[in-house]
């Protein structure tokens, strides 16, 4: 007689046993609550994946009148048709958020910039991750009117009481990068800074200015318009930096394509990288490993940002208490040939 085994849904206890933790720890790891180490949280998620365990978050949400759906906005540039999925930071952020939501039993919907106010107010979802809130941000205002939980990816320019966000530790990241350039011999480090009404370039600018003051080095900043064509605008801005006398011996850019723009401006001025000029940028673009020369980058870890944002949003949806509502992600430096001097000393470069 042939017998068949009926598949049974893995339990919370089975996941706890596999991970070697308590069921409370499993619940906290899946719901983004509690004060767990990253290693413990990852061990629990790995055990859940191995066992095929899916939380019943969606069922609980439906039972209380929810949808089991999370939203993620892509509105950093308003309603302009920006190809966000082609920009490495946003692409990695969206994929990371989708994965983190699925691991916790939720669906995640990436919302385009072209939605009407009616759609922002009425699209079914239990909560939303609002990416890059701006100073004059109609989408954020509409989402606040809905009264659903909202987590910002990036500190709002004008925070309200009760705002919740995940941001990057820009002070630590800029210190990593600037200290690295100093060790490579740079003494006149310039910053190519875009003009935009989100908080990102301002936080970078303040971290840079603070470091320069602390190290008694000149703050060399050239601003440029991020719209409508930041490629040309940034190359022109870097050109103005390189026309200064004395000239910078290193230039940092803070957008994904900044490294390419700085390299192009250096070539136009007949400067060799890294012999005459050190170059670095803040970017997730893997192509910088194969440019000529490979460019040093500072990663803002969108994979970690998205994971923290989903954790925090689900904690808010579940009305969990004792949750850290302002989280910082640590950037990671990837040194490459473009910052491995030595920088030449002499009238030609100083």
Kindly report the backbone phi and psi dihedral angles of residue 139, in degrees, each rounded to the nearest multiple of 5, phi listed first.
-65, -45
Kindly tell me if the per-residue pLDDT of 346 is higher than 50: no
Question: Which pLDDT value is given to residue 329?
Answer: 97
% of the chain at pLDDT higher than 90: 61
Q: Give the residue, 263 or 8, on which the prediction is more confident.
A: 263
* Structure confidence by residue, pLDDT tens digits, 168-216: 999 999 999 999 999 999 999 999 999 998 999 999 999 999 999 999 9
Q: Give the residue, 245 or 229, on which the prediction is more confident.
A: 245
Question: Which pLDDT value is given to residue 219?
Answer: 97
Question: Which pLDDT value is given to residue 320?
Answer: 74
% of the chain at pLDDT higher than 70: 88
Residues with Cβ within 8 Å of 228's Cβ and at least 6 positions away in sequence, in order, are none
Name the average pLDDT for the chain. 88
Q: What is the mean pLDDT of residues 16-40?
A: 77
Structural tokens at position 54: 């899916």
Kindly tell me if the per-residue pLDDT of 337 is higher than 70: yes
Q: Are 311 and 151 in contact (CB under 8 A)?
A: no
Of 51-55, 61-65, 232-236, 262-266, the poorest mean pLDDT is in 61-65
Q: Give the residue, 6 or 236, on which the prediction is more confident.
A: 236
Question: Which pLDDT value is given to residue 348?
Answer: 41
Question: Which pLDDT value is given to residue 3?
Answer: 46
- Write the CA distances from 146 to 64, 123, 349, integer angstroms: 17, 10, 56
In this prediction the pTM is 0.81
Kindly tell me if the per-residue pLDDT of 1 is higher than 90: no
């Amino acid at each position: 007689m042939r017998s068949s085994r009926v598949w049974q849904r893995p339990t919370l206890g089975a996941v706890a046993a596999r991970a070697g933790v308590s069921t409370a720890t499993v619940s906290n790891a899946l719901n983004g609550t509690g004060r767990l180490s990253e290693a413990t949280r990852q061990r629990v998620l790995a055990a859940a994946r191995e066992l095929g365990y899916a939380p019943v978050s969606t069922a609980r949400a439906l039972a209380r009148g929810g949808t089991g759906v999370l939203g993620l906005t892509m509105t950093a540039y308003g309603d302009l048709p920006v190809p966000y999925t082609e920009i490495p930071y946003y692409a990695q952020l969206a994929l990371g958020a989708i994965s983190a939501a699925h691991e916790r039993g939720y669906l995640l919907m990436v919302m385009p910039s072209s939605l009407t106010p009616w759609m922002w107010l009425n699209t079914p979802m239990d909560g939303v991750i609002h990416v890059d809130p701006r100073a004059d941000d109609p989408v954020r205002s509409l989402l606040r009117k809905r009264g659903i939980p909202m987590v910002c990816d990036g500190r709002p320019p004008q925070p309200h009481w009760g705002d919740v966000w995940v941001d990057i530790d820009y002070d630590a990241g800029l210190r990593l990068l600037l200290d690295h350039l100093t060790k490579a011999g740079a003494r006149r480090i310039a910053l190519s800074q875009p003009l935009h009404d989100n908080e990102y370039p301002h936080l970078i600018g303040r971290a840079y200015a603070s470091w320069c003051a602390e190290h008694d080095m000149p703050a060399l900043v050239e601003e440029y318009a991020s719209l409508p064509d930041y490629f040309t605008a940034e190359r022109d801005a870097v050109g103005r930096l390189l026309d200064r006398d004395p000239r910078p011996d290193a230039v940092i850019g803070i957008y994904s394509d900044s490294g390419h723009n700085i390299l192009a401006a250096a070539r136009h001025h007949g400067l060799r990288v890294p012999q005459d000029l050190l170059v670095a940028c803040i970017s997730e673009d893997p192509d910088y490993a194969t440019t000529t020369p490979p460019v040093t980058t500072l990663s803002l870890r969108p994979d970690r940002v998205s994971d923290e944002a989903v954790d925090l949003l689900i904690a808010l949806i579940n009305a969990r208490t004792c949750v850290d509502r302002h989280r910082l992600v640590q950037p990671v430096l990837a040194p490459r040939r473009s910052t491995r001097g030595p920088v030449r000393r002499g009238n030609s470069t100083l």
